[in-house]
Amino acid sequence: MSHTVSSGCRRLGASGRSAARFAIATQHFANKIAFSWLVALIGATGCSAGELAVTVVDRLGQGVSEAVVTVAPAVPRAYRQSAATAIMDQRDLAFTPRVLVVAVGTSVEFPNNDTVSHQVYSFSEAKHFQLPLYKGVRHPPITFEHEGLVVLGCNIHDEMVGYIYVTDAPFFGKTDSGGMLNLQELPGGDYRISVWSPIIADPSQTLIHNVHVDQHETTTSRIQLIRELRARPEPRPRRTDWAY
């Protein structure tokens, strides 16, 4: 899955506030679903923003794809809750995408594009829920109000596992097939980068990196993992006659 990040920049008058608007267009199989959200950065002046290019590589220097990267200012600031929406689909007896990263406050829709029913649940601390996904029955989206990792399971198909990574960081995304993620429109300053993936085995404290982003410049950050990657947990694509 590829993310293209485009950005616009707009002055918000003499109040000294600026807003950065990020639009992430996600190519979602046959459907193009565009969603965007608004993050208000308090205290930053002007519209002079930098760029941050993060690369996550394994022990051998190979890019790690589908890793969640979140970037938050080193000095925490207040952000408005996101009103964004996102989609966690069910296809071929698997959560699609396997890993979804969303801002706190995002509402996630759970469609079911399989020919069988699913019963999605999570008992993670960040969100407890139970969601039967029967055919032809639409369910309201689920809002994720708390940051943290939400592990999804299916009560019918025990082998289905999915992840929703809920973050309060203003900048985030997933690495591409080369392990790269480009974030734009970052106000200059000190930031803290965190990396997460179900296949990364490194202890979490080693996955936090501090970086300084200069205005008008592209800052690069290369994060090399110290432990071998875990096997990818995704199940094999199943033929439909195997389940019902």
Partner 1 sequence: MEARRYAACLMAILWAGFATADDQLNVVGAFDVRWVHSAGELSYLDGGLGTLRFDPDHEGLRLGRAFMASRLRLSDIVTLHTVVDAYGDHDRNPVDLSEFWVDVRPFPTNAIRWRARVGAFHMPVSLENRGAGWSDVYSITPSALNTWLGEEFRTIGAELEVRWLGASSGYLGDVALIAAAYAWNDPAGALIADRGFAITDRPSTLFGGLGRPPITFYHEMDRKPGYYAGLTWRRHDRLEIRALRYDNRADPGASTAAGGGAWRTRFSSFGARLEPTTRWTFIAQYIDGDTAIGAESLGYDQFLMRYHAAFGLASLEWGRERLTARFDSFGTHQLRGFFGPPSNETAHAWTAAWTHDFDDHWQLVTEWIRVLSRFPPRSLFAQPSSLPETQTQISARYRFQFGGRAWGLIGGLQNN
Q: How far apart are CA 164 and CA 223, in angstroms?
A: 22
Among 7, 156, 176, 182, binds Cu ion (CB under 5 A): 156
Query: For residues 42 and 134, which CB has a smaller minimum distance to Cu ion in the complex?
Result: 134
Contact in structure between 217 and 186 (CB atoms under 8 Å): no
Contact in structure between 208 and 193 (CB atoms under 8 Å): yes
Instruction: Find the angle CA(111)-CA(29)-CA(20) to the nearest 5 degrees.
Output: 85
Return the one option of Cu ion, partner 1, none that residue 243 interacts with (CB less than 5 to 8 A, by type): partner 1
Query: For residues 157 and 174, which CB has a smaller minimum distance to Cu ion in the complex?
Result: 157
Query: For residues 9 and 156, which CB has a smaller minimum distance to Cu ion in the complex?
Result: 156
Closest CA to 157 of 220, 112, 222, 200: 112
Query: For residues 65 and 155, which CB has a smaller minimum distance to partner 1 in the complex?
Result: 155
Residue span binding Cu ion (CB under 5 A) among the ranges 60-68, 80-88, 152-160, 176-184: 152-160
Chain residues binding partner 1 by CB under 8 A are: 31, 111-117, 119, 121-123, 128, 130, 132, 134-138, 151-153, 155-156, 158-159, 161, 198, 230-231, 233-237, 239-244
Residue span binding Cu ion (CB under 5 A) among the ranges 24-32, 42-50, 117-125, 183-191: 117-125
Q: How far apart are CA 138 and CA 96, in angstroms?
A: 18
Assigned token pair, 124: 């993670």
- Output the smallest distance, CB 53 to Cu ion, in A: 37
Task: Output the CA–CA distances (angstroms, integers) from residue 119 to 92, 93, 130, 178, 201, in the order listed.
Answer: 14, 11, 7, 34, 29
What residue ranges bind Cu ion (CB under 5 A)?
A: 118, 154, 156-157, 160
